[in-house]
């Protein structure tokens, strides 16, 4: 097992995480390392669910750990806020998996930029959360740290779904922070996503006598033209503009080179504003193609920004960041479905996620750790060691 030093340098911890391959579905080695490192922390209660690891910092446990380290066994579960003495619980979550490698392993440090698979999405954020879990032994809020598997895969394999199904009490909180890359700023809410197949019918014939058939691929041109001419809507919620998008992402037709295709299937992807429900998004798409066969294969609603909700508003004020809309889908939507307000806050440029050249700025790693540590411990934020204070608005 690869040892992780959670009390050492944050950059070296991030490099260690990047250097453990953990493509979606193959997170066991990294989950083993994370679990082992967290179980060494006397103030944490640690549980393993599949290849997801959950660690809880409760004030009652932390106080007892300082006075009697042997009182709590590492497999004892502390649920809810019983005996915690705190009135607020926060979830800090990050996924352990990455997309497939693209020649970007092992990690390398180039000045202030740490390169490598998952450095941006989102092992930099995971490193910050691990450091907080290990080093904050007396937070003013009870904290649940969730390091989960299979975020980059279809929703049914997402580790948060399994935790919610098997141990929903572990996700109960007043606020959730997803350590998704957000340039060390706040990205609120997220878009919903809908995938669908639009089928155009024709009539099969031999290409030597093509006039006897109807070419479905040719007829699909009208659908593609409508997609090309479609103007995405811009919807403002809580002062944030969510720009929608509708795109063809695959076109399939034909069974052989000498056969006129009788079907053409166009797969489309709709990113819709969080003000639309899943049903409204589906109705919107069907309304654009009323004459076509439309089969929705997946639809997941987004999450409203919730900037007027107390816990979110208070954290945004402390972080000092000007909120931006999250253009994409993240697991803040899963927490929203559980009734927990959530936001995205983590190091790294989201535009670099899933790219071969992804990296995370060292300064952002340290900034996110310093600001979250200050909030969780109730002290004023200080600039990270060795760095001058930077403007908070981005």
Helix, strand, or coil (residue 237): strand
Token pair, residue 16, equals 């260690």
H-assigned helices in the chain: 10-18, 28-39, 59-67, 124-135, 159-166, 216-219, 221-229, 278-288, 310-319, 332-337, 362-377
CB distance 31 to 48 below 8 Å: yes
Examine the residue annotation and report whether 97 is marked as an active-site residue of this protein: yes
Taking phi over 0 as left and psi of -120 to 50 as alpha, with beta for the rest, 346 belongs to beta
Task: Point out the catalytic residue in the list 27, 47, 142, 151.
Answer: 151
Examine the residue annotation and report whether 174 is marked as an active-site residue of this protein: no
Q: What's the chain's length in residues? A: 394
DSSP states of 92-123: EEEE--BPPP-S--S-EEETTEEESTTIIIII
DSSP states of 318-362: HHTPPPEE--S--THHHHHHTT--EEEE-SS-GGGTT-TT-EEEH
CB distance 226 to 176 below 8 Å: no
CB distance 281 to 246 below 8 Å: no
Query: Which residue, 163, 11, 20, is CA-closest to 96?
Result: 20
CB distance 121 to 181 below 8 Å: yes
Task: Point out the catalytic residue in the list 97, 180, 262, 358.
Answer: 97
| Residues acting as catalytic residues | 97, 151
């Amino acid at each position: 097992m690869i040892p992780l030093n959670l009390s050492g340098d944050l950059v070296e911890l991030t490099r260690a995480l990047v250097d453990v391959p953990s493509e979606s579905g193959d997170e066991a080695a990294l989950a083993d390392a994370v679990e082992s490192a967290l179980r060494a922390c006397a103030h944490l209660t640690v549980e393993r669910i599949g290849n997801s690891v959950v660690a809880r910092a409760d004030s009652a446990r932390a106080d007892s750990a300082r006075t009697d380290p042997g009182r709590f066994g590492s497999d004892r579960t502390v649920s809810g806020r019983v005996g915690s003495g705190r009135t607020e619980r926060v979830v800090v979550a990050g996924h352990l998996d990455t997309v497939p490698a693209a020649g970007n392993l092992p990690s390398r440090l180039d000045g202030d930029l740490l390169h490598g698979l998952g450095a941006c999405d989102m092992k930099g954020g995971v490193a910050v959360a691990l450091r907080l879990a290990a080093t904050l032994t007396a937070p003013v809020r009870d904290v649940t740290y969730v390091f989960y598997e299979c975020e980059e895969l279809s929703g049914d394999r997402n580790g948060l779904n399994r935790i919610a199904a098997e141990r929903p009490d572990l996700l109960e909180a007043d606020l959730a922070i997803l350590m998704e890359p957000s340039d060390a700023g706040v990205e609120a809410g997220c878009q919903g996503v809908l995938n669908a197949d639009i089928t155009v019918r024709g009539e099969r014939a031999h290409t030597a006598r093509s006039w006897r058939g109807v070419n479905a691929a040719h007829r699909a041109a009208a659908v593609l033209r409508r997609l090309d001419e479609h103007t995405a809507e811009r919807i403002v919620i809580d002062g944030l503009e969510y720009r929608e998008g509708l795109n063809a992402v695959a076109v399939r037709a034909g069974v052989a080179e000498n056969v006129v295709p009788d079907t053409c299937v166009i797969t489309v992807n709709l990113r819709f504003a969080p003000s639309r429900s899943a049903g409204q998004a589906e109705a919107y798409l069907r309304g654009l193609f009323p004459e076509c066969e439309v089969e929705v294969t997946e639809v997941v609603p987004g999450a409203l920004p919730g900037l007027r909700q107390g816990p979110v508003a208070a954290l945004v004020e402390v972080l000092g960041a000007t909120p931006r809309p999250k253009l994409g889908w993240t697991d803040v939507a899963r927490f929203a479905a559980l009734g927990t307000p959530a936001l995205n806050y983590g190091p790294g440029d989201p535009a670099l996620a899933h790219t071969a050249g992804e990296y995370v700025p060292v300064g952002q790693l340290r900034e996110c750790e310093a600001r979250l540590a200050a909030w969780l411990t109730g002290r004023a934020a200080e600039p990270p060691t060795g760095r001058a204070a930077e403007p908070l608005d981005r």
